[in-house]
Structure formats: C-alpha cells, structure tokens
Amino acid sequence: MSPAKSNEKNTSASVSHPVTMEDHKNLNRTHIVKKTTAVSDALGFPDGDQFEQDLTEILQSDAEASGEIVVIALCDSDHFDHINKDFGCAEGDRVLIETGRHIRASVPGDARVYRIGGDEFGIIFRGNLEREDIFLILNEMKNSLRVSTPDGERQSITVGMATAFQDASRTPELIRKADSAVFRGKAAGGNRVAMAREEKMVPKTSHYTQDQLQRLARAAKQEGIGEAILLREALDMLLKKYDV
C-alpha cells in the first residue's frame, strides 16, 4: 500500500460522525455523573434515594407512638448556578464540599446528613429534640456558614424544615412540605430557615378525563390517602421536572 493510500485510510478512520443531539445528552450525562461522584466521594454522604428510604422506614416505625420527634431539613445553596458559570465546575465542587462538611459539623452526631443531588443536602433528625430546638440548630448552621466564592462573596443557604406526623405522615408529602418551605425562603430573599406551614388550597379550574378521575380514585383508595394529596405530589413532580 502506498504512503498516500495509507495516510488517506488513517485520515478517514480518524474522522468522527457529526455530533448529534444524543451525543450532547450523553456527554452531559457523563459530566453530571463525574461531578456528582467527585462531590459525593469527597463527602461520603448517603444519596437522595437513601434519604427517602430511611425516611420511609422511620415513618413506618413506632416513632410516632413512642413520642419521638422526627424532623427533616432540606438545605439548598443560594444562587449556586453562577458559581459554575463564572468560576468553573471545580470551584462549584469546592463550595459544595465545604458546605456539606459544615452541615455535618453543625448538627448533632445522631442526625443523618445526605447529599440529595445538585446543590441540595438533606438532614433527618430523630429523637427527643423539640422542633424549636432543631430550628435553632439549623439557624445557627446557616448563620455560621463561612464558605466564600473566588470573588470574596459569602455563600449562603436556605433551609426548609418539616415535622413528621404533624406536617405530613408520608414520605412524598413530608418532602414536598420541606421543599415548599425552601421555595418560600428563597422567594423571600434566601439565607433563612423556613418552616412548613398549613397550606390553604386555592380553587382552580381544572379539566380531567373521566378515566383519569377514576384511576385517581382507585389510587387514593389503594394508598389510603386523599385524592388531593396524590394530585399535589404529582404536580410537585411536574414542577421539579421543569425546574420551577
């Protein structure tokens, strides 16, 4: 084979196909996995799936009957997106790692701390601490955070807390209540601890098919809960999907 043909073959073999949308998605997935692993490996916290599993086991245990206080807290970094954008992912990882370590050091040793995903951490408190005491612990944790971005700005967090058996008795509803508290805290300016509160239902014209309503009724009966709770859980999943 002549050198010309050899070079032509090598050049042809090195040419990749045009980058498709699926390629971009795969690259993004790989990046997310690597980023998640980097922070999670450094912290060693259980993940969001374990958070939900542990919480479900607690809610189904004798915790309520024995008078234990069970509180969950979701901790979300304020204005985190700009850190990766302005300073790079390595700085974003550093902020998350330092924040996670601060959270772990700020709560009692028997509290469980989790890396939910992204810039969110979860905490499960279970024992004899009153809800007000847990609020004070979380508030001090927020106030004492000393993590800075490269431009010298202090990073802050917003925390939403919800109390089991008082705010909700099912895992999805309790998490939703804490997540709603985070949303309210951020809407009020962030850098605060917000507690779940009684929700007032706002009437809103909706259109559902008869089949959907019948299936909803069967699901509610099967789970032993109200149809409104299932609808709120479904709407919350939709809002999370579209990141709003």
Three-state SS letters, 166-209: CCECCHHHHHHHHHHHHHHHHHCCCCCEEECCCCCCCCCCCCCC
On the question of pLDDT at 239 being above 70, the answer is yes
Q: Which of 12-16, 84-88, 177-181, 187-191 has the lowest mean pLDDT?
A: 12-16
Within 10 angstroms of residue 220's Cβ, the number of other Cβ atoms is: 16
Same domain, 57 and 140: yes
Find the DSSP H helices in the chain.
3-14, 21-43, 48-59, 81-87, 89-106, 131-143, 171-187, 210-223, 227-241
CATH number at residue 42: 3.30.70.270
* Structure confidence at residue 22 (pLDDT): 56
Bridge partners of residue 114, in order along the sequence: 122
Domains in the chain, number: 2
* Structure confidence at residue 154 (pLDDT): 95
d(CA 157, CA 194): 11
- Single out the residue of 89, 91, 88, 105 nearest to residue 43, CA to CA: 105
pTM: 0.74
Same domain, 226 and 133: no
On the question of pLDDT at 4 being above 50, the answer is no
Rg (CA), the chain: 23
Q: Is residue 77 a contact partner of residue 157, using CB atoms and an 8 Å limit?
A: yes
On the question of pLDDT at 122 being above 90, the answer is yes
Helix axes 227-241, 210-223, angle to 10 degrees: 110
CATH number at residue 226: 1.10.1220
Q: 39 CB contacts (<8 Å, ≥6 apart)?
A: 93, 96, 97, 100, 115
Same domain, 186 and 215: no
Same domain, 209 and 169: no
Print the domain residue range for 79: 26-199
Q: Quick: pLDDT tens for 14-67.
A: 334 454 545 544 544 444 444 457 898 999 999 999 999 999 999 999 999 999
Secondary structure element (H or E) that encloses residue 71, with its range: strand 69-77
* Structure confidence at residue 9 (pLDDT): 42
Same domain, 95 and 50: yes
* Structure confidence at residue 240 (pLDDT): 72
* Structure confidence at residue 61 (pLDDT): 97
Same domain, 156 and 213: no
Q: Quick: pLDDT tens for 128-187.
A: 999 999 999 999 999 999 999 999 999 999 999 999 999 999 999 999 999 999 999 999
Secondary structure element (H or E) that encloses residue 160, with its range: strand 157-163
